[in-house]
A and B are shown apart, each in its own frame.
Chain A
């Protein structure tokens, strides 16, 4: 199933997601025909269990799918829909066969059955039909909201021109809600978001490394391809080893994900991928020279996404501080057992 999903999506994205389409999405917004194609192929419901109307794929099986979204710079909320539907399924709710996104941050408060407050940084929020978020930290509840019914909105984009929108709801009756299962905590969407971005970063970085090597092998200066210079080889080698490390960290995070996300592995994944994104983007631009700095050349959709995604759902610094704090709290004797068992409760 994993292979079929990946190869089908790869073909579809290779065929559809051109540089022109990515640019058009920045200028004109929602790419409706492509979304319809993705939705009708069942990708957005992949992680919801069968009884919720999904395919019931596990995270380990979806790792490659999320990476493909990063590799092709897909300007649509497929990763977000997959995570949202997974969470709905985990709460026993029906998966949503529409464009759905999520908010990891909100200030929503209950007043009886009604909600008031803001939801922030919703990917593609202005275009999706529904969004999912978790309300409250003591006894958290998953709710489904309609951005169209918000009292007001504040629309924005990240560096790559992907929408990241805020909405304010006033005395709003959620269209669906359910208590979060006890194995998940109120940070589940922050963690899930970090997982998605880690995998998207890896997909983008592998493409970045491929195009940088390809360009360097073709670009001739001083009478030879610039990759024949050791200084260029070694810069790309450093990117490659950072990508290799980041890839292993993402694989571990997806492999260990079941009904909940593995805290230690996902922290490591977001830290290693965010660091690798910084190294990769700056070296790729150095190798490409001025042409890579132009809008018409296809490097910036990758690098501008890397610069955005490394900061979303916790930067390397955010997760490092949290991890370092708990390592210090547990003391030095717990360090090695924590590494080998992979168990960390924060």
Chain B
């Protein structure tokens, strides 16, 4: 998923960002399915949508749902114009899958909050204007209590963003440090102490969208080109099976969208989409390298070589982002009454 601010602004001018938000905040009052059609076509075409992606998918809906009137008026119109970019602050150096163990904290001092701590693996933090972060705001008896979400202006004094190179050498994710960052009271998103509840609701959006099965679409397409019109039996079988699963994942994702649209929190179904989708997406590069003898290549080579090289190296991240395989299977097992 490429980053291109100009592209995002053009999409915004068309009314294709924040489509499901109300008109009075710059949105289009569109239903969830109109938005779905637009984002899945963008992904299927490989459009560079990363700049506004998190704001459109998560931050905008979160602000609409939990934000104050002032917050809605202040943040949503710029999101819809494709000018204001958000990142998601969840993981910390010692808190990955065990998200409830986070230690970044904000303390109320007078009418301000003072923020200290560190987030890591924050995709796009180096390109974003704001982070919506989950931090600790009080001691709590309950493991899931005492946490709140803040909208953090990343240009404030005390915020430092350092990109981290991934295994391909690219810089997508970052570590973000907070050193006595002073936040106004209005930076609190939603209710104090309700952070965990808000974050788990937000994750249903993150886990069920079409990006959960369309990341490897480009490779499936070049695979079909490279195989050509007359596949052998093994190639035909693998391509057919992938097509069947792609169709089914899309139907699953649409079904979760239907539930989200009706105001439900389909955490269980969303986890199924994510984990089943990851299995599909990680299988595509494996199948690609097994049905043709073309070598993957990052330098030179044809489209197939390049896309294969890129996705082979990206694939491990698919089962990390948005919840690891183990966390998702734990959620599914709980739904089955096993935990």
B241 within 8 A of A: yes
* B109: Cβ under 8 A from any A Cβ: no
Complex Cα gap A332–B239 (Å): 11
- Give the CA-CA distance A227 to B271 in the complex, in Å: 19
Q: How far is the CA of A317 from the CA of B240 in the complex (A)?
A: 9
Identify which of residues 308-338 in chain A touch chain B, using a CB-to-CB cut-off of 8 Å.
316-317, 319-325, 327-329, 331-333, 335-336, 338
Q: 22 pairs across A/B with beta carbons < 8 Å? A: A209-B336, A213-B338, A216-B338, A230-B330, A237-B329, A237-B330, A244-B252, A245-B252, A245-B272, A248-B248, A248-B252, A265-B247, A268-B243, A272-B245, A321-B236, A324-B243, A325-B240, A327-B224, A328-B235, A331-B229, A335-B243, A336-B44
Of all chain B residues, which has the CB nearest A338? B243
Kindly provide the distance from the CB of A258 to the nearest chain B CB, expressed in whole angstroms.
Answer: 18
| Least Cβ–Cβ distance between B226 and chain A, in angstroms | 9
Which A residues are in CB contact (< 8 Å) with B217? Answer: 336
Known pairs A249-B247, A317-B237, A324-B243; list 10 more (Cβ under 8 Å).
Answer: A213-B336, A228-B338, A233-B330, A241-B276, A244-B276, A245-B245, A251-B251, A327-B239, A335-B224, A339-B247
Residues on B with C-beta less than 8 A from A227 are: 333, 338-339
Contact indicator B269/A252 (Cβ below 8 Å): no
Across-interface contacts of B286 in A (CB, < 8 A): none
Taking a contact as CB atoms under 8 Å apart, the answer to whether A335 and B228 are in contact is no
Tally the A-B contacts, defined by beta carbons under 8 Å.
157
State whether A328 touches B230 (Cβ < 8 A). Answer: yes
Q: Mark A235-249, 1 if CB is under 8 A from B, else 0.
A: 011101110111011
A328 touches B239 (CB 8 A): yes
Minimum CB–CB distance for A201 against chain B, Å: 14
Contact call B275/A327, Cβ cutoff below 8 A:
no
A338 to B240, CA, bound (A): 13
B222 partner residues in chain A, CB cutoff 8 A: 332
Quick one: CB contact mask for A287-323 with B, threshold 8 Å, 1 for yes? 0000000000000000000000000000011011111
A209 to chain B, nearest CB (A): 7
Are B276 and A245 neighbours in the complex by a CB distance under 8 Å? yes
Q: Which residues of chain A have C-beta atoms less than 8 A from B192's C-beta?
A: none
Binary flags per residue of A43-85, CB closer than 8 Å to B gives 1, else 0: 0000000000000000000000000000000000000000000
Known: A245-B245, A320-B236, A339-B243. A238 touches B252 (CB 8 A): no
C-beta contact mask, B247-289 vs A, less than 8 Å → 1, else 0? Answer: 1111110010000000000000101100110000000000000
A320 in contact with B241 given A234-B326, A236-B333, A325-B231 (CB within 8 Å): yes
Is residue B244 contacting chain A, with contact meaning CB distance below 8 A? yes
Size class of the B contact interface (CB-based, 8 Å): 35 or more
Residues of the A chain whose Cβ atoms lie less than 8 Å from the Cβ of B231: 324-325, 328
CB neighbours of A331 from chain B (8 A):
224-225, 229
CA distance A264 to B248 in the complex (A): 11
Q: How many residues of A contact B (CB 8 A)?
A: 51
Nearest 8 interchain pairs by C-beta: A324-B240, A323-B240, A324-B236, A320-B240, A233-B333, A324-B239, A237-B332, A237-B329
**A233–B339 contact, CB under 8 A?**
yes
B-side contacts of A238, CB under 8 Å: 275, 329
- Which residue of the partner chain, among B224, B225, B332, contacts A241 with CB atoms under 8 Å? B332
Q: Is A19 an interface residue (CB 8 A)?
A: no
Whether the Cβ atoms of A248 and B255 lie closer than 8 Å is yes
Residues on A with C-beta less than 8 A from B233 are 321
Which residues does B use to contact A, with CB under 8 Å? 40, 44, 217, 220-222, 224-225, 227-231, 233, 235-241, 243-252, 255, 269, 271-272, 275-276, 326, 328-330, 332-333, 335-339
The reply to whether A328 and B238 form a contact with Cβ atoms under 8 Å apart is no
Q: Do B337 and A328 have beta carbons less than 8 Å apart?
A: no
Question: What is the CB-to-nearest-CB distance from A286 to chain B, in angstroms, rounded to a whole number?
Answer: 15
A232: CB under 8 A from chain B? Answer: yes
Q: Does A272 lie within 8 Å of B244, measured CB to CB?
A: yes
Q: A332 CA to B307 CA in the complex, in Å? A: 15
* Residues of chain B within 8 A of A237, CB atoms compared: 275, 328-330, 332-333, 336
Is B272 a contact partner of A244 (Cβ separation < 8 A)?
A: yes
Q: How far is the CB of B331 from chain A (nearest CB, A)?
A: 8
Give, as a whole number of angstroms, the nearest-CB distance from B188 to chain A.
36
Which A residues touch B243, using CB under 8 A? 268, 323-324, 327, 335, 338-339
A343 nearest CB across to chain B (Å): 12
Q: How far is the CB of A25 from chain B (nearest CB, A)?
A: 31
By the criterion CB–CB under 8 Å, are B337 and A325 in contact?
no
Give the complex CA separation of A213 and B337 in angstroms.
Answer: 7
Give every chain A residue within 8 A of B336 (Cβ-Cβ).
209, 213, 236-237, 240
Quick one: closest B residue to A247, CB to CB? B252
In the complex, the answer to whether A321 meets B333 with C-beta atoms within 8 Å is no
Q: Smallest CB–CB gap between B244 and chain A, Å?
A: 4
Q: Hey, which chain B residues are within 8 Å of A265, CB to CB?
A: 247
Q: Which of chain A's residues have a CB closer than 8 A to the CB of B329?
A: 233-234, 237-238
A323 to B92, CA, bound (A): 45
A271 at the interface (CB under 8 A from B): yes
Q: Does A217 belong to the interface (CB within 8 Å)?
A: yes
The answer to the question of A267 belonging to the interface, with a C-beta cut-off of 8 Å to chain B, is: yes
> How far is it, in angstroms, between the C-alpha of A238 and the C-alpha of B332 when the chains are bound?
9
